[in-house]
Amino acid sequence: MTNIQSLLAQMTLEEKAALCTGAGPWTTTPVERLNLPALTVTDGPHGLRRVVDVFSMINKSLPATCFPTASSLAASWDPALLHEMGQALAAEAIALDVGVILGPGVNMKRSPLCGRNFEYFAEDPYQAGVMATALIEGIQSLGVGTSLKHYAANNQEFERFSMNAEVDERTLREIYLPAFEMAVTKAQPWTVMCSYNKINGTYGSEHRQLLTDILKNEWGFEGFVVSDWGAVHDRVASLKAGLDLEMPGPKPTRVNAVIEAVRNGDLDEAVLDEAARRILNIVCRAAETPKGGEFDAAAHHALARRISAECMVLLKNNGLLPLRDPQHVAVIGRAAMQAHFQGGGSSHINPTAVDVPFTELQKLAANAEISYAAGYPEDDSHNQGLIDEAVGLAQTADVALLYIALPSFKESEGYDRADLDLTAQQVALIQAVTAVQPNTVVILNNGAPVVMGDWIDGTAAVLEAWMMGQAGGGAIADVLFGRVNPSGKLTETVPLRLTDTPAHLNFPGENGVVRYGEGLFIGYRYYDARNVAVQFPFGYGLSYTTFAYNNVRVSAENFRDVDGLTVAVDVTNAGPVAGKEIVQVYVHDHAARLVRPYKELKGFAKVSLQPGETQTVTIPLDFRAFAYYDPAYRQWVTESGQFDILVGASSADIRGRATATLCSTLQLPTILHDESTIRAWFSDPAGRELVAPIFDEMMKNGGMFSADGPEDQSIGMDMINFLMDLPLRSFFHFQETSLTQPPDDITNQLLEQVYGVGR
């Protein structure tokens, strides 16, 4: 164990400044004089892009296992599986001499158009937080670090280096930060990567509130903050805000600027020391893990196949799947020959091997005659000949399998999608094939939802295979032939059309600003609130068996927020084959001071059941499961009252519910003021006690508003209701003649008294 403080004390100003900027694209700056090695970092997140020469930015990378990307992984809803994958990633990092893997990314899927959604987990912060935590814990359990990214509100690629995300405080706290918060507080990633964009006018790299106040002080983050590659604009300002390491390097002008700022008093050396301390801590920790050796590529390929199969989501099945000994199979679509298994950009991996979907299918259908047609071109052009050829094959087959991959010119890091459609040729192909072959299965490879329109109607089955990793070709065959019973469920809603999506009117922004106008209401929170029909809801996915849910119950009818609640449900495999079910728990608040989504995911469990088997699934719910963030108090708040606990197979398929009453232990100061309405004063216990007697007295004495009864005939309205919505001060002014003191005196006395009572 190195003594970090004594190491720091031995460093010169120049060495500390240099340490806080990279030595190259992928390494920190070593200090040879003190035997401090360089730390090597590498993308990330679903495999290693370890460029051979760490001093080159873009270069061929060493072979590494390409696992399924995050949108696929999330659909497994299986944290244990992600933990296992994390350990495999760490083993590869050790073999390839990498100290920190640049991932995972936990940005929310605000719009399905975000080109990088394939690298993110979910439209729900809780789900994303659980999955990221498991992956980080898996990687770090073997002494390799992670970089949780991109912090924060980086939810699009359009103008990602400069876009200003305007997002209100509550939305930030409830939607865009919790996945980071959970991962930081539970798993302590070694590093957190700031985002390129601005958040409410300030660059992610210079955002003191996000980097220091919230991340380090409030959540207790112990590692260092690294910039996204090229995200720093003013190095001194970023250091002051809490950005510890700037990447990539080398950048002598930045280092000099820091030295100069310390010398001229603009930067307190203690700030630089703190950044250097955090970096030293991680560099030394990484050095404790011996590097080198080899990883077991074959074992990791097999793991990638197992994981991919767990992530696939069966969206539609009229009973054709699993395939039962077909004699003649028409395989259509170039993705059957050239697997589309990863996305473009910084996460692009040089795989150790790639399963060809066609070949893997052949292995499992040894007795079948299998023919192939490409079906669609590589580009966006129309080619009727390819469609005609495919139709010819499909007509004479028992089954047509259509392998449809969303091309990378439509989906990648660096640009957003222009629409949610497959290419026109792909749609025409599906329609032409399904017109002649009712037994048609569409297998999709994409990182984020595609709209289906009419084409889904003619299909017998649709399998969402995602960007499935290098072994996904085998995993597709496993699922189609029932060697694996599909168990994945969606973590991003599949909408009916782009215009239905929550951020549609505010995406991707204009004149450098994107306003998060939909607020809390992204994903299913929006579709619930607006009662908008969707193609497939959040949490949805089919199996080759069915599950029955019985006896939903809670541990207490009345509970304190700090104690939380436990939900239990008996789940039975009611079908003929073994399978896995993802049980989801949503919380619905009956009433709250602030608007809340109709329901929110607060727990889930994946359970494996043999035919006929029943298991009791128990899911704990803590304080945060019931709380909302109240910007007026700048804290998480619970309110006493009733909650429904909804247990479902998806967000739209609630199978059972229980009701419990929460007792809030919070004692919040009142936020009544002179502009609060009489109604607000009445709804606050302390306020009511003070205002009610004056109100009653005045109503008796008369004055400008002396109501004859609830419905005043002279004006045709309910006077009491009208008065209730007047601000306190205005109310007293209107009533001056019925008061014994001047209205402002009464108002001020009440304010003094209520703050005395409330605080």
Question: Which residues are near ligand BGC by CB under 6 A?
Answer: 43-44, 102, 149, 228-229, 346
DSSP 506: G
Are the C-beta atoms of 301 and 65 separated by less than 8 Å? yes
Q: What share of the chain is helix, strand, coil (3-state, %, to 5)?
A: 35, 20, 45
For strand 717-718 and strand 711-712, is the pairing parallel, antiparallel, or unpaired?
antiparallel
Q: Which two tokens stand for residue 293?
A: 């050796």
Q: Which is nearer to ligand BGC, 204 or 537 (CB)?
A: 204
The DSSP secondary-structure symbol of 352 reads S
Exposure on the CB side of residue 752, measured as CA atoms within 13 A? 6
CA 45 – CA 202 distance, rounded (Å): 26
Looking at the Cβ atoms of 230 and 611, the one nearer to ligand BGC is 230
d(CA 149, CA 169): 20
Contact 65, 297 (CB under 8 A): yes
Of the pair 26, 77, the CB lying nearest ligand BGC is at 26
- Rounded to the nearest 5 degrees, what angle is found at the Cα of 574, between the Cα atoms of 569 and 579? 85
- With a CB cutoff of 8 Å and minimum separation 6, the contacts of 270 are none
Q: How far apart are CA 658 and CA 154, in angstroms?
A: 37
Token pair recorded at residue 143: 């002494």
82-101 burial, b at 16+ Cβ within 10 Å, e below that, comes to bbbbbbbbbbbbbbbebbbb
Q: Residue 229 Cβ, how far from ligand BGC at the closest point, in Å? A: 4
Structure tokens at 678: 């009489």
CB of 374 to ligand BGC, least distance (A): 33
CA 287 centroid distance within chain = 31
Active-site residue flag, 457: no
The Cα–Cα gap between 424 and 464 comes to 19
346 vs 535 by CB, closer to ligand BGC:
346
* Cβ 129 to ligand BGC shortest distance, Å: 19
Which residue in the shown chain puts its C-beta closest to ligand BGC? 346
Q: How many CB atoms lie under 10 A from the CB of residue 145?
A: 27
Whole-angstrom CA distances from 135 to 41, 44, 81, 685 are: 17, 12, 9, 46
- C-alpha to C-alpha distance for 357 and 372, rounded to whole angstroms: 12
Question: How many other C-beta atoms lie within 10 A of the C-beta of residue 124?
Answer: 30
d(CA 116, CA 599): 27
Question: Minimum CB separation from ligand BGC for residue 161, in Å?
Answer: 9
User: Does an H or E element contain 689, and which?
Assistant: helix 685-701
Query: Nearest approach, Cβ of 44 to ligand BGC (angstroms)?
Result: 5
Shortest distance, CB of residue 103 to ligand BGC, whole angstroms? Answer: 7
Shorter beta-carbon distance to ligand BGC: residue 70 or 443: 70
Closer Cβ to ligand BGC, 157 or 589, answer by number: 157
CB of 149 to ligand BGC, least distance (A): 6
Return phi, psi of residue 463, to 5°.
Answer: -115, 120
Q: How far is the CB of 25 from ligand BGC (least distance, A)?
A: 8
Residue 83, CA atoms < 13 Å, CB-side half-sphere:
9
Query: In whole angstroms, how far apart are CA 712 and each of 150, 220, 353, 665?
Result: 59, 58, 81, 42
Total length of the chain:
759
Q: For the stretch 548-564, what's the b/e string if a residue is b when 16 or more beta carbons lie within 10 angstroms of its beta carbon? A: ebeebbbbeeebebeeb
Cβ proximity to ligand BGC, 344 vs 703, nearer residue? 344
Closest contact distance (angstroms) between CB of 743 and ligand BGC is: 59
CB atoms closer than 10 angstroms to residue 623: 17
> Considering beta carbons, is residue 514 or 645 the nearer one to ligand BGC?
514
For ligand BGC, which is the closer residue by CB, 92 or 518?
92
* Strand boundaries in 461-503, DSSP class E: 461-464, 494-495
Q: CB of residue 61 vs ligand BGC: minimum separation in angstroms? A: 11
Q: Which is nearer to ligand BGC, 229 or 547 (CB)?
A: 229
To ligand BGC, the closest distance from the beta carbon of 232 in angstroms equals 13
Cβ-based nearer residue to ligand BGC, 115 or 539: 115
- Beta carbon nearer to ligand BGC, 156 or 535: 156
Angle (CA) 547-551-555 rounded to 5° is 125
In the set 43, 124, 228, 416, the catalytic residue is: 228
Smallest Cα–Cα separation from 250: which of 60, 18, 13, 15?
18
Q: Do 214 and 184 contact (CB within 8 A), yes or no?
A: no
For residue 130, what is the enclosing H or E element? helix 125-140
Per DSSP, the three-state class of 404 is strand
Q: Which residue's entry shows tokens 């072994």?
A: 471
Smallest gap, in angstroms, from Cβ of residue 49 to ligand BGC? Answer: 7
- Residue closer to ligand BGC (CB basis): 244 or 639: 244
Smallest gap from residue 303 Cβ to ligand BGC (A): 23
Strand ranges of the sheet holding 191-194, from the earlier edge strand across to the other edge: 41-42, 100-101, 145-151, 191-194, 224-226
Catalytic (active-site) positions? 228
